[in-house]
Amino acid sequence: MNALLDRLFPAGHTVAFDGHNLAGHAVSATGRVHVIGTRDRAALTTDMALKLSQAVLDAVRTDQAGGDPRPIVFIASTQGQALSRHEELLGLNGYFAHMARCVDLARRSGHRLVTLIHGEAVSGGFLAFGLLADRICALPDAQVKVMDLRAMARVTKIAPERLEALAQSSPVFAPGASNYARMGAIHALWSDADDWPQALQQAIAEAGGEDRRAALGRERGGRTLAQPVAERVAGVPLDA
């Protein structure tokens, strides 16, 4: 993780690790930013969700007292929520909802939000904070999925073989960062050859403003109906 942070922020960073959580500050090409997230493909627990939420609230509170809201860079490395009866009985879904509300508060407070997917981003552990950012970028070899095909087969009662066949032609059924990029859920796929500080600078500059993920999914051929249906529901003419 330190090697990743060094490459992202060659001008310096002060990011502390607390188990699988990380939080701190760094100097990017756009200036000082908050860095918050998880590492080592963590399985998110109630305790980790509270720490992530607190880090976001601390960033909002600090900048309210000290000037303009600075960008928040989320590092998402998670295998999803902790699969534990103990965590479920504690109400893990409520902790995730609280975390999502904290991220929304940061956005409404003027923070630009960028997520960098490192390693793996799965299910609720990713949905509740990383997927809520304004810009989402996947680092090389990142694995992204909400539900694998075996679990999807159990839930939908569709044969795994049928889902595997559908996954060949539709990114909606297929895991992987490239498929999520086709659907518009990921804005950019980074390569090892890219200048990561420059790519992060661009992501921060493009964060905020209109959410164009449905439009991206249509342009990239991964979700062709999401934008037209949303426009019809909102009463916007399709040719506007």
Ordered domains of the chain (ranges, CATH): 2-140+190-209 (3.90.226.10)
Q: How many other CB atoms are there within 10 angstroms of residue 176's CB atom? A: 15
Please give the angle made by the CA atoms of 110, 115 and 117, to the nearest 5 degrees.
175
Rg from Cα positions in the chain? 18
pLDDT for 117 equals 97
**Cα-based distances in Å from 33 to 15, 17, 20, 73:** 11, 17, 20, 7
Distance CA 146, CA 220 (A): 20
Continuous segment of H or E residues that includes residue 178: helix 177-182
pLDDT one-digit tens code per residue, 66-123: 779 999 999 999 998 888 999 999 999 999 999 999 999 999 999 999 999 998 998 8
pLDDT for 150 equals 81
In DSSP notation, 78-139 reads EEEE---HHHHHHTHHHHHHHHHHHHHHHHHTT--EEEEEEEEEEHHHHHTTGGGSSEEEE-
pLDDT for 152 equals 83
Residue 158, SS3? Answer: coil
pLDDT one-digit tens code per residue, 121-149: 988 889 888 999 999 999 999 999 877 78
Identify which of 118, 116, 112 has the alpha carbon closest to the alpha carbon of residue 136: 116
Query: pTM for this one?
Result: 0.91
